[in-house]
């Protein structure tokens, strides 16, 4: 499935009576890479969960390409090409690596899991290990690979580098960069490692208390020292 654009219009969402996102609007062209930044608790994870259909929506619209997915459940969004790698990873702990990958094939032949092994050779080495026998980095690779095997046109990545060793972070970011080069996926990345996110993305949005507070390019953000300090709480970017 080729990459598709993502359009979010006036989106308000949350959990039960608690509103987290308020009137968020942005668009991502097909094949582009968007970094979603902001301090902790500002709505980044809620945004991705809402795009995936896992929160309560109060207002607004979500479109994947020409398809309005606002009112359809999360499983149907996946069939429309939306891939979601949540912060919790959500692998099956009592299935092997290979069995976890089979779940992500979505009707494709089993031989297609070689794509995952090419991207993450470490998974091939661990293919007979159970999910709960993997390190945190290996679990993140497995969660990402399982989603990618479904060939999503829009991929949502929620803090994939959290708690991982620097060498694993480099390996994951290199894999994401290779995915982006193909142009086959539109990628949204939520990440606390700001520099890694900016090196990957070609667009940036910053959330502040559930609202869109800044949008532009990584280069523009690096020059906007006030926004960096006020919205991200850091002294500057390289």
CATH numbers and ranges of domains, the chain: 6-87+151-232 (3.40.50.300)
Helix (H) or strand (E) holding 46: helix 44-51
Residue 23 has a pLDDT of 98
Task: Give dist(CA 153, CA 162) in Å, integer.
Answer: 24
Residue 1 has a pLDDT of 67
Task: Give dist(CA 222, CA 112) in Å, integer.
Answer: 40
Task: Give dist(CA 143, CA 214) in Å, integer.
Answer: 30
Residue 233 has a pLDDT of 87
Residue 47 has a pLDDT of 98
> pTM of the entire structure?
0.92
Distances (CA, A) of 145 to 138, 166, 176, 181, 194: 10, 19, 11, 16, 23
Q: Which residues of the chain have a pLDDT value below 70?
A: 1, 235-236, 238
Residue 231 has a pLDDT of 95
Q: What is the mean pLDDT of the chain?
A: 93
Strands (E), 45-135: 56-64, 67-68, 82-85
């Amino acid at each position: 499935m080729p990459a598709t654009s993502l359009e979010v219009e006036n989106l308000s969402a949350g959990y039960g009576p608690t509103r987290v996102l308020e009137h968020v609007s942005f668009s991502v062209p097909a094949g582009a890479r968007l970094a979603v930044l902001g301090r902790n608790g500002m709505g980044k994870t809620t945004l991705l969960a809402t795009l995936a259909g896992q929160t309560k929506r109060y207002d607004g619209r979500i479109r994947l390409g020409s398809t309005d997915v606002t009112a359809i459940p999360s499983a149907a969004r996946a069939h429309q090409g939306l891939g979601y790698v949540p912060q919790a990873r959500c692998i099956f702990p009592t299935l092997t690596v290979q069995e976890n990958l089979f779940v992500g094939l979505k009707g494709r032949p089993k031989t297609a899991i070689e794509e995952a092994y090419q991207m993450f050779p470490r998974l091939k080495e661990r293919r007979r290990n159970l999910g709960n026998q993997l390190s945190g980095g290996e679990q993140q690779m497995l969660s990402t690979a399982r989603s990618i095997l479904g060939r999503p046109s829009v991929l949502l990545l929620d803090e994939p580098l959290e708690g991982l060793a620097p060498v694993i972070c480099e390996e994951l970011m290199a894999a994401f960069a290779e995915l982006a080069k193909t142009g086959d996926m539109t990628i949204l990345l939520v990440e606390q490692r700001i520099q890694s996110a900016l090196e990957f993305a070609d667009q940036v949005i910053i959330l502040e208390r559930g609202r869109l507070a800044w949008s532009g390019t990584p280069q523009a953000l690096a020059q906007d020292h006030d926004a960096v300090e006020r919205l991200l709480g850091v002294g500057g970017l390289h």
